[in-house]
Amino acid sequence: MANKIITISREFGSGGKYIGMLVAKKLGIPYYDKDIIEKIAEESGFVDDFIKRVSEYAPSKSIFAYSFVGRGANGESIEDKIFAIQTKVIKELAEKGPCVIVGRSADYILREMDPLNVFIYASHKAKVRRTTSFKGVSEKEAEKLIYETDKKRSINYKYYTGRDWGARENYTVMLNSTDLGVEKTAEFIAQLYKQEN
Amino acid sequence: MANKIITISREFGSGGKYIGMLVAKKLGIPYYDKDIIEKIAEESGFVDDFIKRVSEYAPSKSIFAYSFVGRGANGESIEDKIFAIQTKVIKELAEKGPCVIVGRSADYILREMDPLNVFIYASHKAKVRRTTSFKGVSEKEAEKLIYETDKKRSINYKYYTGRDWGARENYTVMLNSTDLGVEKTAEFIAQLYKQEN
């Protein structure tokens, strides 16, 4: 195995995004997540007129907020189009060189490049604590957010990859950020990457 | 977290037992698995007359081969008695000092000692390959053995712990020995242990 790319999948509230940033920093390689990939897609010209037109009618400025809005002329949903665009962006980024990609089914999209696929999870208690403090919401709202976000991730992942989100066979390592702590989890991934490359 | 004990749970054919031995060797700490725990139990005097009497009628010399044979005078099954004995042995071993324990629901039994709980898994192909070469069986037999052993582990684990075997929340790390290789998997666990202790 010679992993050039690290993909990080994570439970909502597990600190996976922050861990991804730390890993990239430790290794001195670029970090990409949903927001960055969306920005690149918008700048790249991959976003076509149809999606732009739909997004004119919506309140947010992000084109990618319009999942499930409707279907294009050829029967393709907006979400399908967005997935196709993100796939294109992710493949281009990965071909540029080593990087860390958080989310966006990158483990599946880059499967032929044999990435180091990491899954980060945490105790329910820790996820609630993290969500209440970082999102400024109540415990009840945090629980709802955790449940709904991961449910959506699971459905999307299944739909686009045919795989089960969080099922161990899809990952090289799965790490409990509550037991290890976010700093050590990141250090651990960085060490593993260095050993392999 | 200050883990004195490493527990290893594993899919059949993933090399988990061998990895456990390697980890113990690297760290210079004792290694225990089913066979060793049974031997200690037999020598320790924990095995009572009832189990001894039942085992006289069975062909194998191991007392622990008699699971599901029947129920004792107080309605407790042989398997329940054996679990109680193994629990006692495992707790005594853990109290002696750092060690690696493979299988036997040690992650659950020692939960109050906060062990480093590792789960080892592998690709189906790799498990079949490993099983055919180490057990000298056909591919078909290997597949049956893998399926039935893990099914039995899963049922026993659920029965005695109330937890789901292989569910990520029970483990500190889960490692794919096919992607990492057994040697690197062991090295990885040893490094993690050293960092924590």
Per-residue model confidence (pLDDT) at position A54:
58
Compare CB distances from B171 to A166, A176, A188 and report the shortest one's residue.
A176
A residues 162-181 closer than 8 Å to B (CB): 166, 168-169, 171-176, 179-181
Per-residue model confidence (pLDDT) at position B59:
46
pLDDT tens for residues B75-125? 667 778 888 889 999 999 999 999 999 999 999 999 999 999 999 999 999
**Alpha-carbon torsion, ordered B62, B21, B8, A8, to 10 deg:** -150
C-beta of residue B80 within 8 angstroms of C-beta of residue B70: no
ipTM of the complex, rounded to two decimals: 0.85
Closest chain B CA to residue A122: B169
The overall average pLDDT reported for chain B is: 87
Per-residue model confidence (pLDDT) at position A57:
52
pLDDT at residue A135 greater than cutoff 70: yes
Do residue A184 and residue B171 have CB atoms under 8 angstroms apart?
A: no
pLDDT tens for residues B59-76? 444 555 444 444 455 666
Give the pLDDT mean for A91-119.
95
Per-residue model confidence (pLDDT) at position A151:
95
Q: How far is B80 from chain A (nearest CA, A)?
A: 30
A 10 A CB-CB count for B77 gives 14
What is the DSSP code (8-state) at residue A112? G
Pairing of strands B173-176, A173-176: antiparallel
With a CB cutoff of 8 Å and minimum separation 6, the contacts of B78 are: B51, B54, B66, B67, B68, B69, B70, B71, B72
CB contacts, 8 Å: B1 with chain A: 179-181
- Could you give the domains of chain B? 8-30+99-197 (3.40.50.300), 42-97 (no CATH)
* Residue A116, H or E segment: strand A116-121
pTM for the model: 0.87
Name the pLDDT band for B53 (thresholds 50, 70, 90): low
Name the pLDDT band for A41 (thresholds 50, 70, 90): confident
Q: What is the CA radius of gyration of chain B?
A: 17
Do residue A168 and residue B121 have CB atoms under 8 angstroms apart?
A: yes
CB contacts, 8 Å: A184 with chain B: 195-196
Q: Return the higher-pLDDT residue of B78 and A29.
A: A29
- Provide, rounded to the nearest whole percent, the portion of chain B with pLDDT above 90: 69
B2 touches A: beta carbon within 8 Å = no
pLDDT tens for residues A45-57? 777 666 666 555 5
Q: Return phi, psi of residue B194, to 5°.
A: -65, -40
